[in-house]
Amino acid sequence: MLKDKTALVTGSTSGIGLGIARALAAQGANVMLNGFGDRGEIERARADMERSFNVRVMHHAANLMHATEIYEMVEWTCAQLGPVDILVNNAGIQFTSPVEEFPRDKWDAIIGTNLSAAFHTIHDALPFMQRNKWGRIINIASVHGLVASVNKAAYVAAKHGLVGLTKVVALETAGSGITCNAICPGWVRTTLVEKQIEARALQAGVDIETAAEQLLMEKQPSHQFVTVEQVASLAAYLCSDAAAQITGASLTIDGGWTAQ
Ligand code: NAD
């Protein structure tokens, strides 16, 4: 379905991003990975994708806190794999604290990684899509792009901003063969959430699995985690021709969280 397309997936060295990269590669796209992590592990994931799906997969280690590194990554992707057709803004970080105690540097890091980086990648990659009259931009927001939770001032602000950015880009590209959508997952059990489960277990004096259950019971009516594969399938669907008229949407995949 995506044969010979070029996909750039930020934050794709683990979790949801890695799942999306694999799903797009499985559809035939050549993929530029991005993100931090152990060099050996990244290389294994990259080589495994190339072998399994018979596509080209590369990795660029741009730190998304720096606009110049983002520009270099987009240019390098186009030079190595062809003009970016699919851009998935997935990289994200979390930090929790009451707003009056929220460290200023954590605020800057979360807004930088979860929101500003998406502006810079879109700014740099969109002209390539416009030239080809085809493109898919997928912003991995969150239920926290639509509703709030305590102690997540920066994350909620960044994700609401990302949903707003999605709508503007959708309007500016409407009818041009390019779509821009946000995916808003509920709890997915990745490293980002595992840290929150561990903190909860410590605070409540319970074991990890009990803390995970409590986390789900509090917000996610299905009481089940969303899987990485489910989010990745939705991203792949948004890249299909069937989704050509879906643009500016914020698609929840949250076990009923935002229906409450
Ligand atoms: P994760 O921690 O497994 O993955 C985060 C990725 O981002 C990693 O590859 C990491 O290296 C990369 N990254 C972080 N800072 C970076 C930077 N400055 N430059 C480049 N790469 C950077 O987390 P995840 O749960 O897979 O999260 C992926 C996205 O999904 C995030 O935007 C997150 O907010 C969103 N999300 C996650 C959940 C969940 O429950 N896990 C729910 C809703 C939304």
pLDDT tens figures, 197-207: 999 999 999 99
Q: What is the 3-state secondary structure (H, E, C) of the chain?
A: CCCCCEEEECCCCCHHHHHHHHHHHHCCCEEEEECCCCHHHHHHHHHHHHHHHCCCEEEECCCCCCHHHHHHHHHHHHHHHCCCCEEEECCCCCCCECHHHCCHHHHHHHHHHHHHHHHHHHHHHHHHHHHHCCEEEEEECCHHHCCCCCCEHHHHHHHHHHHHHHHHHHHHHCCCCEEEEEEEECCECCHHHHHHHHHHHHHHCCCHHHHHHHHHHHHCCCCCCECHHHHHHHHHHHCCHHHCCCCCCEEEECCCHHHC
Residue 13 banded pLDDT, cuts 50, 70, 90: very high
How does the average pLDDT of the chain come out, rounded? 98
Q: ∠193-197-198 over CA atoms, to 5°? A: 115
User: What pLDDT score was predicted for residue 52?
Assistant: 98
In angstroms, the Cα distances linking 218 to 91, 98, 123, 183, 211 are 25, 19, 38, 21, 11
Over residues 46-79, the pLDDT tens digits come to 999 999 999 999 999 999 999 999 999 999 999 9
The predicted pLDDT at position 80 comes to: 98
Cβ of 192 closer than 6 Å to ligand 1, yes or no, is yes
pLDDT digits (tens, 9 = 90+) for 213-226: 999 999 999 999 99
Q: Considering the candidates 128, 155, 187, 257, report the single residue annotated as catalytic.
A: 155
Mean pLDDT, residues 116-122? 99
Q: How far apart are CA 88 and CA 2, in angstroms?
A: 14
pLDDT of 176 reads 98
Exposed, middle or buried: residue 76 (CB in 10 Å: 0-12, 13-18, 19+)? middle
155 counts as catalytic: yes
pLDDT in tens, 125-183: 999 999 999 999 999 999 999 999 999 999 999 999 999 999 999 999 999 999 999 99
The verdict on the CB of residue 220 being under 6 Å from ligand 1 is no
> What does the domain layout of the chain look like in residue ranges?
6-186+227-251, 188-225
Instruction: State residue 179's pLDDT score.
Output: 99
Contact 19 CB / ligand 1 (< 6 Å)? no
Residue nearest to atom 8 of ligand 1 (CA): 11
Q: Does 188 sit in the ligand 1 pocket, CB within 6 Å? A: yes
Which residue's alpha carbon is nearest to atom 9 within ligand 1?
11
pLDDT at 148: 98
Instruction: Please give the class, per CATH, of domain 6-186+227-251.
Output: alpha beta
- pLDDT score for 38: 97
